[in-house]
Structure 1
Amino acid sequence: MKDSLFIRAAFSQPTERPPVWMMRQAGRFMKEYWDIKNKYSFLEMCKTPEIAADVTMLPVDLLGIDAAILFSDILVTAEAMGGELSFTQGVGPKFANPVRNESDIDALQTDVADKLQYVADAIQVIQQRLNGAIPLIGFAGAPFTVLSYLIEGGSSKDFKLTKLFLNNQPELAHKLLKKIADVTVTYLNMQIKAGVNALQLFDSWALALSWDDYSEFSHQYNAGIIAQLDRKDIPVISFCKGSSVFAPLMAEAKPDVISVDWNADLKQIKNNLPKGIAVQGNLDPFILYADKAVIKKKILHLFERMRGEEGFIFNLGHGIMPDIPFDNVKYAIDVVKEFRY
């Protein structure tokens, strides 16, 4: 995989064009996804290796992307630890037993590798299907983001309970973060052993935090995880909503790639990062609702801005929304693949 466009870009080596993959590329904007989803629950899809492989392969077969990403969820670690997780259509993830106190934290287990074996099994099935054509990206949720779901009991607009927990009970917050971080290291190393070619750490809700709180409750744990990965030849991507603000701190964790949200000027971020850290992004996903001429213009503008920069992976600033037209996503990928520096 060292010669793949994606791996070369992730390691800041020259490429003839930017590689392309998209967060949530195997998802609800595809009719074929719903053909599978209508037969199984979301967790059944994640936990059945053959089905997870089927979904992972959809954008490979239908979109022609340059890297596949494992079909799973950032909350499988929290569920393995003892979170009673369910997914409801239109509502999202819910934990029936949210964390409220120290005894709730003590009840969470950390020796959970066996409970996550289905992910390693899925990786092996997917790699058989990919047969070396393109790299496979594995991933995990970052400790702060997973903590926020455990405390809120699900998604949140304002993270009020989470912030109260961090402010009023910081020692307990650190106790919980440490547990999640330990599980995450084991989980990601298990994915490497199973055969992934790259990893992404998703800190989806870091933008809820102030600079100081991000440093204390997110960054130090992400840095600790990255430092403990068996990452020889395996590029590590660090993503958060808020990367346009937190990129200097994210760089201190020594990832190979920082995935940037759409608020920032990507070239400016890249030029302010240490040499050898690539960038990924950062098209506003809402552009994919627009006319095709607009989509092409915006992508080519980004490419001209990044011309001459080694270490650039094209992606969105966040994931594809469910109602974006499939044809627009396919068109965007075709525009990228036709481009040459």
Structure 2
Amino acid sequence: MPDDTSRFIRACRGEPHDTIPVWFMRQAGRYQPSYRALRQRYSMLQLARTPELIRDITVRPVEDLGVDAAILFSDIMIPLASLGIDFDIQENVGPVVAQPVETRADVDALKPFDATDVDFVLEGVERTVSALNGVPLIGFSGAPFTLASYIVEGAPSRTYRRTKHMMWQEPDTFAMLMERLADMVIAYLKAQAAAGASALQIFDSWVGALSVADYRDSVLPHMVHIFSSLIELNLPLIYFGVGNQHLLEAMASTGASVLGIDWRTPLSQARTMLGPSITLQGNLDPERVTAGMDTAEQGAIDICRAMRGDPRFIFNLGHGVPKETDPAVLKHIVDRVHAMGGDGA
């Protein structure tokens, strides 16, 4: 169970807390000199499959930056290996799948998810929770559509053409694929919760490529199934997408308790649209933290002023930390947001 005294957990629940909680997506990553040093010795997948390295990489930004939550160091592709998906994560490319899923036979050939296949992740969660001294750990998974977009396309895509063609032309095949992936997400996140995660985030990074109608028809039922299956855990459940302003109302109807907002949508607008009963997380433009201390600080100040007094607000970027970021800028932002949320100037 999460620590009820944590400002991050309390903000997720809309409960009173002392100041605005802060964490950053990709806060453990390539902008850190310590992480770059590890990448000289290990591949991304080697790091993500070694429990003691998962722990060290996850904990480091909490120690360095003073953020209010850790997020597990891993990759959304990791559990797909249990289904029989052969993939690699290539530098400056991203996930590349050896044999993309193209037909109903390919979907039928996927194996059921087995949590013992990701025991290194679960051990990493346990080791990390022990090292965090009460700071909440966010476990995570990719969402079915975003995962499908990788395994159907075979690699990162700008158009998601093959995925959309399957969704439109072979709807039964696509629905079966989404069901298989949804079942995997549920089991994977429940296993992370059992290992000690205090909150769970589902990354649907590429869902903004869909129309509202396609999202409601082909994605929403699976997301409702996921969140309704996870609610028994009594943990904060975070849902995040990119370029998805047109989908926010539908995404908020899934049962998520927290909705991550990217930098394109003002948080005040999202609050008006979605009402007071869901926590909002975001949404500084990630490029502000690469543009210098003053530019990053002003963006953070503007967001905190707009959300001041809102008990359901968590400060974050609108996407992941860019690799060019100066860690000192992130540390300054954490301190500045904490000061503003505590009624500092």
Please classify the TM superposition score into its range, dividing by the shorter chain length.
over 0.9
Partner of 2:132: 130
SS in 2 for 1:237: strand
What does residue range 37-186 of structure 1 map to in structure 2 within 5 Å? Answer: 37-132=39-134, 134-186=135-187
Partner Cα distance (2:140, 2:172) in 1: 27
Partner Cα distance (1:291, 1:44) in 2: 33
For the 8 Å contact 1:203–1:241, the answer to whether it is kept is yes
For the 8 Å contact 1:192–1:230, the answer to whether it is kept is no
Q: Report the TM-score, using the length of structure 2 for normalisation.
A: 0.95
For the 8 Å contact 2:82–2:113, the answer to whether it is kept is no
Partner Cα distance (2:91, 2:226) in 1: 32
SS in 2 for 1:137: strand
Partner of 2:228: 227
Unpaired segments of 5 or more residues in structure 1? Answer: none
Partner of 1:27: 29
SS in 2 for 1:304: helix
Q: Bigger shift: 12-21 or 23-32?
A: 12-21
Q: Bigger shift: 309-318 or 274-283?
A: 274-283
Partner Cα distance (1:284, 1:5) in 2: 23
Q: Bigger shift: 101-110 or 191-200?
A: 101-110
Q: Report the TM-score, using the length of structure 1 for normalisation.
A: 0.96
Q: Bigger shift: 240-249 or 79-88?
A: 240-249
Partner Cα distance (1:229, 1:66) in 2: 23
Q: Which runs of 4+ in 1 moved over 6 A?
A: none
Q: Bigger shift: 170-179 or 209-218?
A: 209-218
Residues 32-77 of structure 1: per-residue CA shift (max 9 Å, x gap): 0011121111111111111111110120121111100001111112
Aligned pairs, how many? 340
Residues 120-161 of structure 1: per-residue CA shift (max 9 Å, x gap): 1111000111121x1000000000000000001111111111
Partner of 1:287: 288
SS in 1 for 2:4: coil
Unpaired segments of 5 or more residues in structure 2? Answer: none
SS in 2 for 1:229: helix
Partner Cα distance (2:154, 2:244) in 1: 25
Partner Cα distance (2:292, 2:176) in 1: 49
What does residue range 131-280 of structure 1 map to in structure 2 within 5 Å? Answer: 131-132=133-134, 134-229=135-230, 231-280=232-281
C-alpha RMSD over aligned residues? 1.3
The structure-2 alpha-carbon separation of the partners of 1:332 and 1:231, relative to structure 1 and needing over 3 Å to count, comes to farther
Partner Cα distance (1:246, 1:65) in 2: 29
